[in-house]
C-alpha cells in the first residue's frame, strides 16, 4: 500500500522545480514541500517578494502556499487563510534527509566539451545531486527524476545506490515535466497527462502509486499514466522532439509559401482542421528557441547514434537544421529588403524572450538575429521586451563581439536596450517582431467564453493564440484560473501602432517574424509589412 506523504523535497529551484513545487504545495495543503538549491541567492529571491522567474499566476500560488495568505484580489473574502507549506532553503542535505519523496529538478543542458560535445546531455549537475540524494536520503525514500534525462538514467542512480548505500532500498521513478514557459501554472493545474515510470515490481508500482496520490489531489486519475522507467524517460525526449519537428515542418512550408503566394496561416488553418493532425503548434515563425527543444533533439539523436542508428539520428538532426535555416532566412530577408545596407538605418527589435509571457531568454532567436544585423554595421539596433529586465538583455548583448568591437551602445556599440516600446520604435526605418507578445498585435483580442475553466482555456488558446487572462472589468471574474463561470478576456494593453508609425522614418518597414500582424491594417498606417510565410 502507498505510504502517506508528509514531506516532499525538490532539488533545483529553477524554471521546473520552483513552479512545480509551488503548485504541488498549493494543491496539497497537508504536504510540506521544500525546494532546495545550493545557490543561496536564488533561494533568497524565492523567499522574497520578487520571485526569480516570471510566470503568469505564479506569484498568487506562492503567496498562498509560501505565505499562507489569501490570493491577490481575494483578501477581503471570508476565507480562512492556511498554514504555509511551501519552503525554499539552501540546506540541501537536511531537506533530503527529512523527505518521503525527493524530486531531482536540475538543469541537464547539452555538453559543450569533451565526448559528445554539442550533442550529448551534460549530466554533471544531475549526477552530483543524485549522489547527494543517495548519500542523505532515509531508507525507503522515493527518488524521482524530474529533469529531462537520457534513457536509462535510473540505472545509473541504482548503480550509485549499490556502491554508496549497499543493502539500502530506494525506488527510482521517472516523472518528466511537460510545462511550457509562460504557461507553467496553467499547464501544472490542467496537464494533458502525468507520466510516472517505475520498476515493474510490486515495490516499484507502489512507489508510483505514492507519487500518483500527490497529483491525484487535483488531477483526474485517468490522466495519470504509469509506464516502465525507460518509456517514461524516452517519452519526454520524444514529445519535445515531435513538437519541434512539427514546427520545422510548418516553417519549411512557410518558405514555399513566400515563393508561391500561398499564405502559411491559411495552410495551417486548413490542415489543422484535420482531427488527425490537430490545430496546435502550427504557427510558423522565426524558428523555435528555449532551453529544451534543441537540447532534447540533440539528446535523442545522440542516443540513436550511440545505438548505431545513424539514419534515425540524421532524421532528427534535420529538424534543427531547418530551425536555423528559418531564422537565418528571415534575417537575410530583412537585410535584403533594406537594400543590403543598414549603415544609416535604425532597426528596432520587438521582443527578446524566446516566446511571449516569459522573461526566459535561453536559446532565444533574437540574439542570433541581432548578431546578423550587427554584421551590416547599422546606425542603431533598438531592443524592447515587455517581460525581460533590460539589464539581462544588456548583459547578453555585451557578451557579443562584433568584429572585435563592442555591440552595446554605452560601450560604444550600436545596440540600445529600451524599457519603453515607443522610444525604441521612434525614428526606426524597420521594426522586427521577434517574440509573439500579445501587445505587439494590431488586432484587438477580446472574447466572452463560456464553460468550464478547461474549455475556456483551450478555446481562448485556439481562437486567439493567447493565454486566458481575465480583463480587469470582467463582470464574472473572481480569479484568473480554476472557476466555472463565463469570463471576458482581452489581451493586455496593445501598442498604438498609429503613434508608432507617425514617429518612424520612411520607408517604414515591419517584419513580422511571428505571424501576428494584420498586414492590410498596417498598410493603412503607411507601414509595409513582410511576414513569415507570406509573399507580401
Q: How far is the CB of 426 from ligand UGA (least distance, A)?
A: 27
Instruction: Tell whether residue 108 is among the known ligand binding residues.
Output: yes
Pick the binder of ligand UGA from 88, 288, 464, 511 (CB under 6 A): 288
* Cβ nearer to ligand UGA, comparing 145 with 380: 145
* CA quadruple 390, 393, 396, 399: dihedral sign: negative
Please give the helix or strand (H or E) that residue 349 lies within, else none.
strand 346-350
Nearest Cα to Cα of residue 366 among 410, 432, 275: 432
Instruction: Tell whether residue 283 is among the known ligand binding residues.
Output: yes
Q: How far is the CB of 471 from ligand UGA (least distance, A)?
A: 24
Burial level of 23, CB count in 10 A (0-12/13-18/19+)?
buried
Q: HSE of 493 in the Cβ direction (CA atoms, 13 Å)?
A: 5
* Cβ nearer to ligand UGA, comparing 179 with 504: 179
- DSSP line for 183-251: SHHHHHHS-S-EEEEE-SSHHHHHHHHHHHHHHTTTS-GGGEEEEEHHHHHHHHHHHHHHHHHHHHHHH
* Cβ nearer to ligand UGA, comparing 170 with 354: 354
What are 439's three cell numbers? 501587445
Asked if 265 is part of the footprint of ligand UGA (rule: CB under 6 A), the reply reads no
3-state SS assignment for residue 44: helix
Q: How far apart are CA 202 and CA 107, in angstroms?
A: 31
User: Active-site residue among 257, 292, 470, 477?
Assistant: 292
Pick the binder of ligand UGA from 69, 178, 218, 494 (CB under 6 A): 178
Asked if 460 is part of the footprint of ligand UGA (rule: CB under 6 A), the reply reads no
Q: Could you tell me where the beta strands, DSSP code E, fall in 380-508?
A: 380-384, 401-402, 405-406, 415-418, 430-433, 446-449, 487-490
* Cβ nearer to ligand UGA, comparing 197 with 378: 197
Instruction: Calculate the CA 91 to chain-centre distance.
Output: 28
Among the residue ranges 208-216, 269-277, 281-289, 380-388, the one whose residues contact ligand UGA (CB under 6 A): 281-289
Q: How far is the CB of 448 from ligand UGA (least distance, A)?
A: 25
Q: How far is the CB of 354 from ligand UGA (least distance, A)?
A: 4
Instruction: Tell whether residue 289 is among the known ligand binding residues.
Output: yes
| 126-158 b/e (C-beta count within 10 Å ≥ 16 → b) | bbebbebbbebbeeebbbbbbbbbbbebbeebb
Asked if 516 is part of the footprint of ligand UGA (rule: CB under 6 A), the reply reads no
Asked if 238 is part of the footprint of ligand UGA (rule: CB under 6 A), the reply reads no
Nearest Cα to Cα of residue 283 among 319, 253, 317: 253
Pick the binder of ligand UGA from 150, 285, 414, 533 (CB under 6 A): 285
In the residue annotation, 387 being an active-site residue is answered as no
Q: How far is the CB of 163 from ligand UGA (least distance, A)?
A: 30
The site map against ligand UGA for 324-363 (x = CB under 6 A) is ------------------------------xx--------
Asked if 292 is part of the footprint of ligand UGA (rule: CB under 6 A), the reply reads yes
Q: How far apart are CA 163 and CA 118, in angstroms?
A: 31
For residue 91, give the DSSP letter: -
Instruction: Tell whether residue 521 is among the known ligand binding residues.
Output: no
Nearest Cα to Cα of residue 460 among 190, 219, 250, 224: 190
Among the residue ranges 27-35, 177-185, 375-383, 421-429, the one whose residues contact ligand UGA (CB under 6 A): 177-185
Asked if 243 is part of the footprint of ligand UGA (rule: CB under 6 A), the reply reads yes
* Cβ nearer to ligand UGA, comparing 85 with 147: 147
Catalytic residues, by residue number, are 292
Residues in contact with ligand UGA by CB under 6 A are 148, 177-181, 240, 243, 247, 281-283, 285, 288-290, 292-293, 354-355
Going by the annotation, the residues of the binding site for substrate are 236, 281-285, 289, 355
Amino acid at each position: 500500500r502507498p505510504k502517506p506523504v508528509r514531506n516532499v523535497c525538490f532539488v533545483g529551484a529553477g524554471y521546473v522545480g520552483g513552479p512545480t513545487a509551488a503548485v504541488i504545495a498549493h494543491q496539497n495543503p497537508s504536504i510540506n514541500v521544500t525546494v532546495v538549491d545550493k545557490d543561496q541567492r536564488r533561494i533568497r529571491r524565492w523567499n522574497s517578494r520578487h520571485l526569480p522567474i516570471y510566470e503568469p499566476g505564479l506569484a498568487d500560488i506562492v503567496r498562498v502556499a509560501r505565505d499562507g495568505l489569501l490570493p491577490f484580489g481575494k483578501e477581503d473574502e471570508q476565507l480562512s487563510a492556511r498554514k504555509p507549506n511551501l519552503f525554499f532553503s539552501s540546506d540541501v542535505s537536511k531537506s533530503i534527509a527529512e523527505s518521503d519523496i525527493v524530486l531531482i529538478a536540475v538543469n541537464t543542458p547539452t555538453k559543450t566539451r569533451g565526448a559528445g560535445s554539442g550533442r550529448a546531455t551534460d549530466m554533471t549537475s544531475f549526477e552530483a545531486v543524485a549522489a547527494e540524494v543517495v548519500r542523505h536520503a532515509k531508507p525507503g525514500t522515493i527518488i524521482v527524476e524530474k529533469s529531462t534525462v537520457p534513457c536509462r538514467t535510473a540505472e545509473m542512480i541504482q548503480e550509485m545506490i549499490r556502491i554508496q548505500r549497499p543493502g539500502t532500498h530506494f525506488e527510482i521513478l521517472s516523472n518528466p515535466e511537460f510545462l511550457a514557459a509562460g504557461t507553467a501554472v496553467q499547464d501544472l493545474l490542467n496537464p494533458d497527462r502525468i507520466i510516472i515510470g517505475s520498476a515493474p515490481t510490486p515495490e516499484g508500482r507502489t512507489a508510483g502509486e505514492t507519487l500518483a496520490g500527490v497529483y491525484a489531489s487535483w488531477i483526474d486519475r485517468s490522466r495519470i499514466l504509469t509506464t516502465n522507467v525507460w518509456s517514461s524517460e524516452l517519452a519526454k525526449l520524444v514529445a519535445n522532439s515531435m513538437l519541434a519537428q512539427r514546427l520545422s515542418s510548418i516553417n519549411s512550408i512557410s518558405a514555399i509559401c513566400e515563393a508561391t503566394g500561398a499564405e502559411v496561416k491559411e495552410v495551417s488553418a486548413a490542415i489543422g482542421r484535420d482531427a488527425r493532425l490537430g490545430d496546435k503548434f502550427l504557427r510558423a515563425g522565426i524558428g523555435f528557441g528555449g532551453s529544451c527543444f534543441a537540447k532534447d533533439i540533440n539528446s535523442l539523436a545522440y542516443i540513436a547514434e550511440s545505438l548505431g542508428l545513424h539514419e534515425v539520428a540524421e532524421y532528427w538532426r534535420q529538424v534543427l537544421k531547418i530551425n536555423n535555416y528559418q531564422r537565418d532566412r528571415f534575417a537575410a530577408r530583412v537585410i535584403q529588403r533594406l537594400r543590403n545596407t543598414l549603415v544609416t538605418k535604425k532597426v528596432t527589435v520587438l521582443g527578446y524572450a524566446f516566446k511571449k509571457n516569459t522573461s526566459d531568454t535561453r536559446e532565444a532567436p533574437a540574439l542570433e538575429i541581432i548578431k546578423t544585423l550587427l554584421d551590416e554595421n547599422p546606425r542603431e539596433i533598438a531592443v524592447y521586451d515587455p517581460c525581460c529586465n533590460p539589464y539581462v538583455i544588456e548583459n547578453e548583448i555585451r557578451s557579443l563581439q562584433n568584429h572585435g568591437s563592442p555591440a552595446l551602445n554605452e560601450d560604444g556599440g550600436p545596440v540600445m536596450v529600451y524599457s519603453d516600446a515607443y522610444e525604441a520604435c521612434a525614428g526606426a526605418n524597420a521594426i522586427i517582431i521577434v517574440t509573439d507578445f500579445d501587445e505587439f498585435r494590431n488586432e484587438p483580442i477580446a472574447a466572452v467564453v463560456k464553460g468550464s475553466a478547461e474549455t475556456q482555456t483551450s478555446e481562448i488558446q485556439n481562437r486567439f493564440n493567447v493565454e486566458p487572462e481575465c480583463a480587469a472589468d470582467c463582470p464574472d471574474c473572481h480569479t484568473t484560473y480554476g472557476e466555472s463561470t463565463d469570463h471576458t478576456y482581452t489581451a493586455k494593453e496593445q501598442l498604438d501602432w498609429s503613434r508608432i508609425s507617425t514617429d518612424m522614418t520612411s520607408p517604414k518597414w515591419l517584419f513580422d517574424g511571428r505571424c501576428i500582424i494584420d498586414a492590410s491594417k498596417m498598410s493603412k498606417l503607411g507601414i509595409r509589412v513582410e511576414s513569415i510565410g507570406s509573399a507580401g
